[in-house]
Amino acid sequence: MSGLRIQAQHLRKQFRQSANGVLITAIEQLDFVIEPGEIVAVVGSTGCGKSSLFDVMIGLQAPTAGRLLIGDREPYRDFNGFRGLIATVFQQDRLMPWRSSLDNVCLPLELIGLAPDEQHRRARGWLERLGLAAFTDAYPHELSGGMRQRVAIARAFVLQPAILLADESFGHLDEVTAAELRETFVALARECGSTAVLITHQLEEAMSVGDRVLVFAKPATVLADIRVADWPAERRGELREAIQLTLQSNRCDERIARLAVQQPADAVIEQLGARDKHEQSDQAIKANGR
Ligand SMILES: Nc1ncnc2c1ncn2[C@@H]1O[C@H](COP(=O)(O)OP(=O)(O)O)[C@@H](O)[C@H]1O
Ligand SMILES: [Mg+2]
């Protein structure tokens, strides 16, 4: 299935803390468009609202204001309509301990009512592709962390989803395993034509994945929208430093903004928009006392 467009339009998400009734702004004035088939990394510091965005994208949470559209529909308002279209990979593999690898991968196919033979055929195919042919009958406790995450990736791809969402999916694994799984994830997403969003607090992870990196302020709004390919290989170090400073200062680093000036007019407008929003988010942060 080919990917769908994801759009945030003036999206805001607030939570009221149950203990003291204080209103927390997790997402503030968030605007972006991710085109069908794009692979985008979202990077932001811990607590900046990334998982809140994830929950809005999978339809678990309603926006407080604004809209989040996948295709032309809102996941929260049309939860069942998105069954089989969105697949997720979380930090915890969230496998069912009482099901074998094969039965875990079959689960989403069961939910969309596919015949058992076809479920098994597809699930086996994906487990083989992820190097787990010898472990189809193994249970999660018999697998290493990396292998469990491979089962979770197989379970996501078995749907051939239009949208793939990963929230801090690889950061807890050792660097070699994480790098290998990231590469597999991106290669499969490209092959499927899915629109993929990989959320992370790790800059290295974001830069190694995305065609495009969205840098989030706290609360979540776009500080910088970077097309990594626009930066020649010899300037990647500088880009990394500029994103790091952007994250630390909650302001778009000048070098990123400067490059935008050399880009086509629509990209410049996009960048300037992000900076305007940043000014607003500055005020929001002050207003929140955070
Ligand atoms: N269900 C909730 N109730 C109250 N506050 C929440 C809830 N979910 C998230 N928050 C708050 O929203 C902010 C953003 O959280 P989150 O989206 O998890 O950030 P991230 O994933 O970037 O670390 C935090 O201040 C967090 O405490
Ligand atoms: Mg999170």
Tell me, in angstroms, the distance from the centre of ligand 2 to residue 117's CA.
37
Domains of the chain with bracketed CATH: 6-85+161-288 (3.40.50.300), 92-160 (no CATH)
Tell me, in angstroms, the distance from the centre of ligand 1 to residue 125's CA.
37
Q: Which residues of 131-168 are buried (b: 16+ CB within 10 A; e: fewer)?
A: ebeebbebbbeebeebbbbbbbbbbbbbbbbbbbbbbb
Two tokens at 27?
């997402």
Two tokens at 124?
């086996």
Tell me, in angstroms, the distance from the centre of ligand 2 to residue 113's CA.
32
Do residues 145 and 153 touch, judged by C-beta distance below 8 A? no
Give the tens place of pLDDT for each residue, 116-130.
999 999 999 999 999
Question: What pLDDT sits at residue 281?
Answer: 44
Question: What pLDDT sits at residue 265?
Answer: 45
Tell me, in angstroms, the distance from the centre of ligand 1 to residue 23's CA.
11
Substitution candidate for ligand 1 out of 22, 52, 64 with most atoms within 8 A of CB: 52
Which atom of ligand 1 lies closest to the CA of 290? 25
Q: Are strands 39-43 and 212-216 parallel, antiparallel or unpaired?
A: parallel
**Ligand 1 site, CB within 6 A:** 15, 17, 24, 26, 44, 46-52
Which atom of ligand 1 lies closest to the CA of 220? 22
Two tokens at 88?
């997720």
Give the closest ligand to the alpha carbon of residue 27: 1
Question: What pLDDT sits at residue 73?
Answer: 95
Full-model pTM: 0.86
Which atom of ligand 1 lies closest to the CA of 52? 17
Interaxial angle between packed helices 101-111 and 145-157, expressed in degrees from 0 to 180 and rounded to the nearest 10: 30
Question: What pLDDT sits at residue 272?
Answer: 44
Tell me, in angstroms, the distance from the centre of ligand 2 to residue 272's CA.
27
Q: Which residues contact residue 215 at a Cβ distance below 8 angstroms, ignoring those fewer than 6 apart?
A: 43, 44, 222, 223, 224, 225, 226, 243, 246, 247, 252
Do residues 163 and 186 touch, judged by C-beta distance below 8 A? no
pLDDT in tens, the chain (290 residues): 688 999 999 999 999 998 899 999 999 999 999 999 999 999 999 999 999 999 999 999 999 999 999 999 999 999 888 888 999 998 888 899 999 999 999 999 998 899 999 999 999 999 999 999 999 999 999 999 999 999 999 999 999 999 999 999 988 888 999 999 999 999 999 999 999 999 999 999 999 887 899 999 999 999 999 998 888 889 989 999 999 999 999 999 998 877 665 554 444 445 445 444 444 444 443 433 33
